[in-house]
Amino acid sequence: MRIRTIKSKMSLLYSCLWGVLLSLYVAFLAALPPGSLQEYKLFYILVPIPLTLLFGCFVGRMITARILKPIREITDTANNITHEDLSLRVKTEDVDEELRLLIEAFNGMVSRLGESFEYIRDSSSYIAHELKTPLAIIRGESEFALKKEREKEEYKRVIGICLEETMRMLKIIADLLLLTKMNYQPGVLNFERIDLTQFMRIIYEQAKMLASKKKIAVNIDIPEEPGIINADELHLRRLFLNLIDNAIKFTPAGGSIGISLRYKSRRAVVSVVDTGIGIEEENLPKLFDKFFRIDGKTKDNSPSSGLGLSIAQSIAQLHDGEISVISRAGQGSNFSVFIPLLRQ
């Protein structure tokens, strides 16, 4: 509607200008004395004026239409975009450089909106799915306990199950809030200079305590020299503890976990290697997806949100790093974290 209004106003302006000039032209010819046109050769001067004005009006309308065409396409596309369909884009062919920049910015904005809507839609679906199961368990156990009088131990069992499922739901909610905060508010991280060598020694001590419950040995191999990185200590600890916790869950009792640190090519490489059940090849591409879980016989029953690796990947990316994994079924896994070093 806005484009039509602009075009109508410009057409009206051209018509008014054409009418005014034509009226002045006719009035001027009428005011001249007889024979003066030929005498002063004004005829040859004034006659082309209406044709020139008409040609100028036609060219002006063509230029206006060409300028407004991509703007009209942007408007039509914007009007047709809904939350259910964000796939529409404005074509950038045969447009000026200035308009191409505008169209690319518009298409980029729509793409970002599409990613946000997809993230919200997927998250809502995942949340509904993940919370449905523990709520159903809590409801079922509660109804079972209330059907008739039961022994004290039976009530304790039901309360224990309800508490476990409640803790699972709270972990899901907490992890989702953390993941959302990191994805949309990266400024919440407090970056500072950290000596990664000393930091990994602390992580090693914590890993030994976590692994002691399953009698899993934890080995460490780190250099003596310091390595300075720019990192958020709290979230970096969560990254490595998530990887170590995963290794413990999927490693049978009596197994081992190795933590190593290397500095090369201006990057720190931290590897967490386990002797666990490994990962099937078809599961590797989905490993860092939200709520993805690998069911294994050696996996413990501690509450899990299925977001641990997704959170670890997000933390690594916020540190300009990445996580890679090498694994085979039955042969353990090797998770490597790459983080850039600061120049000293």
Q: Write out pLDDT tens, residues 287-339.
A: 777 766 665 544 455 555 567 788 888 888 888 999 999 988 888 899 999 99
pLDDT of residue 33: 61
Q: By mean pLDDT, which of 36-45, 110-119, 275-284 is the weakest? A: 36-45
Assess contact for 179 and 307: CB atoms under 8 A: yes
Give strand pairing partners of 15: none
202 pLDDT exceeds 50? yes
pLDDT of residue 317: 87
Place of tokens 């946000």: 116
Say how far apart CA 167 and CA 148 lie, in whole Å. 27
Sheet of 217-221: strand order equals 217-221, 256-264, 267-274, 333-340, 322-327
pLDDT of residue 258: 94
pLDDT of residue 18: 60
Burial per residue of 247-259, b for 16 or more beta-carbon CB atoms within 10 angstroms, e otherwise? bbbbbeeebbbbb
Between 47 and 290, name the one with better pLDDT: 290
253 pLDDT exceeds 70? yes
Between 296 and 63, name the one with better pLDDT: 63
pLDDT of residue 177: 74
Q: Say which CATH architecture domain 115-186 belongs to.
A: Orthogonal Bundle (1.10)
Collect contacts of 286-290 with beta carbons under 8 A, ≥24 apart: 287/325, 288/312, 288/313, 288/323, 290/122, 290/123, 290/126, 290/179
Tell me which residue of 131, 137, 194 sits closest to 160, measured CA to CA. Answer: 137
pTM of the model: 0.60
Between 119 and 233, name the one with better pLDDT: 233
Say how far apart CA 239 and CA 136 lie, in whole Å. 31
269 pLDDT exceeds 90? yes
Q: By mean pLDDT, which of 6-15, 20-29, 320-329 is the weakest? A: 6-15
Average pLDDT over the chain, rounded to an integer:
77
Average pLDDT over residues 14-19: 61
pLDDT digit string, tens, across residues 111-168:
888 777 777 776 677 677 667 777 888 888 888 888 888 888 888 888 888 888 888 7
Please, what is the end-to-end C-alpha distance for the chain in angstroms? 60
In CATH terms, the superfamily for domain 190-340 is Histidine kinase-like ATPase, C-terminal domain (3.30.565.10)
Q: By mean pLDDT, which of 91-100, 245-254, 299-308, 315-324 is the weakest? A: 299-308
3 pLDDT exceeds 50? no
Percentage of the chain beyond pLDDT 90 is 17
